Structure 1
Amino acid sequence: MNINMKYYIVTICAIFIALGVGILVGFNLNYDQALSKQQSEVLESFNTEFEDLKDKNKILKTEFDDLNKDLQETKSYINRNVKVLTQDVLTDVNTGIIITNENHDYSEDVETVISNANGNVVFNIVVKDNISDEAKLAEISKSLEKTFKSSKDVIDYIGNSLSNPNGYEGLNVLQDLGVIKINNMDEKTYQDFDSVVLLGDIDKEEGKDKFELKDKLLINNLKDQNKYLVAAAQSDSDITYLELCSKNDISTIDNINEGIGKVSLTTLLKNKNIVGSYGGSEISKEFMAYKNN
C-alpha cells in the first residue's frame, strides 16, 4: 500500500505536538505543586508570626496596664499630699506672676500654690492686648511723657518698672489707662523678685504672631534682667503657648492645675536653674520636676 508523503509529515508533527503538550502539562503540574507547597510554607510562616505578635501584644498590653495603674496611683498620691510635698520649699523665695491672656486668668490658684509652699508672690499683673493699639500708644505717651511707638516699648517699660523701686507709680498709671491690671502688688517688695511665672494661652489660630507681639518681648526683657522664668498652663489648655515658650528656652509645665504640676512649679522656683518641659502633653520631656537642693 502506497502511503502519501503528506501523511508521514502530518503524523510526525502530531507526535511532536503531543510530546510538547505532554511535557508542558507535566511541567505545569510540577510547577503548581511546587508553588502550592511554597505558598503553604509562606502562609504557615505568617500564621506563626501572627501568633507570636498576638502573644507579644498581650504581654505589652499587660505591661502598659500595669504602668498606667502605677501612674494613676502616683498621681492620686501626689494630689492628696501636695501641701506636704511642697511645705516650706519656697521659703524666702520672691516670685512674680504675669498673665498675658486677659480672658483666662487662673493666677489665684498659682498664688495659692506658692503661698502654701511659704513663698512670696510680690506681684500679680495682667498685660492686656491693647498694648499695640496706636491710639493707646499715643495715650500712654502723653500720660507718661515718654515716646511709645510699639508694644515693645510698653513691654520694656513694664519689665523695667517691675525691677525699679520707683516703678510703682508708672505701673499704676498703666493700670489707670487700662493697659495692665494689677491683681496684687506688694508696694515695698515688688521689685525684689528673682523669678516669674508666665500664664498665657494662645490657640493655633492666633499662633506665633500674637506670641511675638507680647510674650516673646516679655521673655526677652526678663531674661535680660537675669530673671528665672517658668511658663505654666492648665491640662486642658492648648499647648501652642507652651510650645512657643519652650522654643525660647524657658521651663514649661502643662498641668499646673494638678498635683504633679504644682510640685514641679515649686521645685523649679526653688532651684531657679532648670530648663525643661514637664507634664503629660506631647511636648513634655519629663513627668515631673524633681530635683531639689
Structure 2
Amino acid sequence: MNINMKYYIVTICAIFIALGVGILVGFNLNYDQALSKQQSEVLESFNTEFESLKDKNKNLHSQIEDLNGELDTIKEFVDKNIDALTQDVLTAKNTGIILTSENNDYSEIVEDLIKKANGTVSFNIIVKDNINKEDKLSEISMSLNKTFESSSDVINYIVECLNSAKNYDQLYALENLGVIKINNLDEKKYQDYDSVVLLGELTGKDAKIKFDQKEKIILNKLKENNKYLVAANQSESDNTILKLYSENNISTIDNINEGIGKVSLTNLLKNQNVVGHYGTSDVSTEIIAYEK
C-alpha cells in the first residue's frame, strides 16, 4: 500500500491537535479545581460574616428594646412630675411666642407651660401667610401710611412694634388688617421679652421657599435684636421646619406636647445660652435639655 506525503502531514497534524486538546483540557481541569476551591473559600467567608452580622443585629435589637423601655420609663416619670420639674424655673423670664401656622395653633401648650413655670408670656401671636400678597401689602401701606413692598417689610415692622412700648395700638391695627392674630399681649411687658418660642409646621416641595419668605426673616430680625430663640413642634408633626431652623443655628424641640419636651423648653429658656436639638426624631441629637 502506497502512503503518500499528504497522509503523513494529516497524521502529524492530528497528533499535534490531539496533544493540544489534551493539554488544554488538563489545564482547564486544574484551573476549574483551583477556582472551585477559591469560590468555596469565599462563600464560606461570606457565610461566617453573615452569621456574625446576624448575631450583632440580634444584640443591637435587644439593646434598642432595652433603651426604648428605659425611655418609656423616663417619659412616664417626667409626665407625672412635670409641674415639680418646671416649678419656678422661669421666674423673672419674659418670653414671646410666635406661631407661623394658621391652621394648627398649639401655642396654648407653650403659654400654659411658661405660666406654670412662673414665667411671663409677653405676647402670643400668629403671623399669617398673606403678608407677601400684593393686595394685602397695598392695603397695609394705605392704612398705616407706610410703604410695604414685601413680607420682609411687614415682618420687620411687626418686630419693631413688639420692641416698643408705644406700639401697643399698632399691633392691634395689624390684627385688624388681618396680617397677625393676637392670642395674648401683655400690655405692660410685651416689649420686655428676652426669648421667643417659634412654633409652626411646613410640608411639601416648596417648604424651603416658604421658610425663606417668612420664618427665616422672623428669626433673622429677632437675632438682630439679640433675642434667644427656640423652635418647637409636636411629636406627631412633620419635622421639615425644624430641620430648616436647625440649619440656621436655632435650638429645636420636636415633642413640646410631651413632658420631656416641656422640661427641655423651660431649661433652654432659663439659661438662654445653648443651641441644641432635643427630642426623639431624626432632627434631634439629645433626648432632653438639662442644666449642665
TM-score for both structures, normalised by structure 1: 0.89
Q: Which residue matches 1:127? A: 127
Runs of 5+ consecutive residues of structure 1 not aligned to the other structure: none
Runs of 5+ consecutive residues of structure 2 not aligned to the other structure: none
Distance 2:110 2:44 in 1: 61
Query: What SS does structure 2 have at the residue aligned with 1:191?
Result: helix
Q: Does 1:4 align with 2:14?
A: no
Q: Does 1:235 align with 2:235?
A: yes
What CA deviation, in whole Å up to 9, does each residue of 1:122-144 have, x standing for no partner? 21111112222333333323333
Q: CA deviation at 1:74?
A: 2.1
Q: CA deviation at 1:214?
A: 2.0
Seen in structure 2, the aligned counterparts of structure 1 residues 249 and 50 have a Cα distance that, compared at 3 Å, is closer
Alignment of 1:137-216 (within 5 A): 137-216=137-216
Q: Which residue matches 2:90? A: 90
What CA deviation, in whole Å up to 9, does each residue of 1:195-218 have, x standing for no partner? 111112121234122222222222
Q: Which residue matches 2:114? A: 114
Structure 1 letter corresponding to 2:116: N
Q: CA deviation at 1:185?
A: 1.2
Identity of aligned residues (%): 65
Distance 2:166 2:85 in 1: 37
Q: CA deviation at 1:175?
A: 1.5
Alignment of 1:48-87 (within 5 A): 48-87=48-87
Distance 2:45 2:152 in 1: 67
Seen in structure 2, the aligned counterparts of structure 1 residues 43 and 226 have a Cα distance that, compared at 3 Å, is closer
Q: CA deviation at 1:227?
A: 1.0
TM-score for both structures, normalised by structure 2: 0.90
> How many residue pairs are counted as aligned between the two chains?
291
Query: What SS does structure 2 have at the residue aligned with 1:91?
Result: coil
Distance 1:215 1:291 in 2: 28
Structure 2 letter corresponding to 1:62: S
Distance 2:12 2:132 in 1: 102
Q: Which range moved further: 104-113 or 65-74?
A: 65-74
Distance 2:283 2:276 in 1: 10
Seen in structure 2, the aligned counterparts of structure 1 residues 68 and 9 have a Cα distance that, compared at 3 Å, is same
Q: CA deviation at 1:193?
A: 0.9
Query: What SS does structure 1 have at the residue aligned with 2:192?
Result: coil
Distance 2:220 2:101 in 1: 18
Distance 2:10 2:144 in 1: 118
